[in-house]
Amino acid sequence: MILYTVTGKAGQAGYLNLADSGDLTGKSVYVNMTNRCPCSCIFCLRQTKKMTEGNSLWLKGGEPSLETVMEEFAPFDLSVIKELTFCGFGEPLERLEDVCKVIDLLKAKYPNLKVRVNTNGLANLIHNRDITPELKGRFDTVSISLNAPDAEEFLALTRSKFGIQSYEALKEFAVKAKRFVPSVVLTVVEKVMSEEKIEICRKTCQELGVTLRVRPFED
Ligand code: SF4
């Protein structure tokens, strides 16, 4: 499933193909373009074979081409939606170039389209360069999963292939992205993390000058 909406309460959320989502007015629409990710988070649904095979967000046929993604959008009027979010069962910025092309094509038709990416914040390591200037004019919000109060815990949770440098790289990515994106948000999940650790994350975000969002456990 490439384009979808999320339905139901947090925790019991289901994914609905965009074609089955009815009136899109005021809704968030999600784009799922890759299964690739440099991490192997212990909590990620991708780690469960059953989930990957059975989940509708696993792109069984591989990554859709740019043309296929644009064809998927064609029947829908995006002028009425609340926000378009690049998300899904992999790290969206693995396909940075294609994601940028999709946004450029859509913004040519819908100049006021609000665009977000939910990311692991490791795009500069993935591409081995600072990609944040490419976010300018394309993304309104960059939401980064912080997950942990320090580098060691981050690595233990995410098992990032880039190793211990990943946490610092994520923070640097957030600061650099701020120059080009109106809203940069770091997220942690309540209950999964102790209050003390959330407080450390809050201080980190203050130092970085970005917003911390504490997501509900079931989110
Ligand atoms: S960064 Fe996201 S997609 Fe990648 S393994 Fe972790 S939770 Fe899964």
94 vs 120: CA distance, rounded Å? 10
Could you read off the pLDDT tens digit of each residue along the chain, which spans 219 residues? 899 998 876 556 688 899 989 999 999 999 999 999 999 999 887 766 555 555 678 888 889 999 999 999 999 999 999 999 999 889 999 999 999 999 999 999 999 999 999 999 999 999 999 999 999 999 999 999 999 999 999 999 999 999 999 999 999 999 999 999 999 999 999 888 899 999 999 999 999 999 999 988 764
Please work out whether the CB of residue 91 comes within 6 Å of at least one atom of ligand 1. yes
Q: Residue 143 and residue 120: Cα distance in Å, rounded?
A: 8
Rounded distance between C-alpha atoms, residue 77 and residue 202, angstroms: 38
Q: Rounded to two decimals, what is the model's pTM?
A: 0.93
C-alpha atoms less than 13 angstroms from C-alpha of 138 in its C-beta half-sphere: 22
Q: Is the dihedral of CA 195, 156, 99, 85 positive or negative?
A: negative
Confirm if 3 and 30 have CB atoms less than 8 A apart: yes
How far, in Å, is the centroid of ligand 1 from the Cα of 145? 9
Q: Is the distance from the beta carbon of residue 120 to the nearest atom of ligand 1 less than 6 Å?
A: yes
Please list the helix, strand and coil fractions of the chain in percent, rounded to the nearest 5, in that order.
Answer: 40, 20, 40
User: With contact defined as beta carbons under 8 Å apart, do 191 and 215 qualify?
Assistant: no
Residue 154, domain CATH: 3.20.20.70
For residue 72 the two structure tokens come to 């998927």
Q: Which long-range contacts (CB under 8 A, 24 or more apart) does 126-130 make?
A: 126/38, 126/91, 126/93, 126/94, 126/96, 127/96, 130/176
Burial of 151 (0-12, 13-18, 19+ CB in 10 A): middle
pLDDT for position 118: 97
Per-residue model confidence (pLDDT) at position 10:
56
Residue of 34, 37, 215, 219 best suited for mutating to test ligand 1, as the one with most atoms within 8 Å of CB: 37
**What are the C-alpha distances in Å from 65 to residues 15, 32, 51, 95, 102?**
22, 12, 24, 11, 11
Is 37's C-beta closer than 6 angstroms to any atom of ligand 1?
A: yes
Give distance in angstroms: CA of 79 to centre of ligand 1: 30
Range of the domain at 197: 3-215
CA 43 to ligand 1: nearest atom: 7
Q: Which atom of ligand 1 is nearest to the CA of 122?
A: 1
Question: Number of structural domains, the chain?
Answer: 1
Query: Given the DSSP bridges, would you call strands 14-17 and 183-189 parallel, antiparallel or unpaired?
Result: unpaired
- Nearest CA, atom 6, ligand 1: 41
Smallest CA-to-CA distance from 126 within 69, 85, 166, 158 is with: 166
Q: Are 84 and 114 a contacting pair, CB within 8 Å?
A: yes
Q: Which of 32, 35, 36, 39 to mutate to test the pocket of ligand 1 (most atoms within 8 A of CB)?
A: 39
**Which of 40, 41, 192 has most ligand 1 atoms within 8 Å of CB, for mutation?**
41
The one-character DSSP state at 190 is B
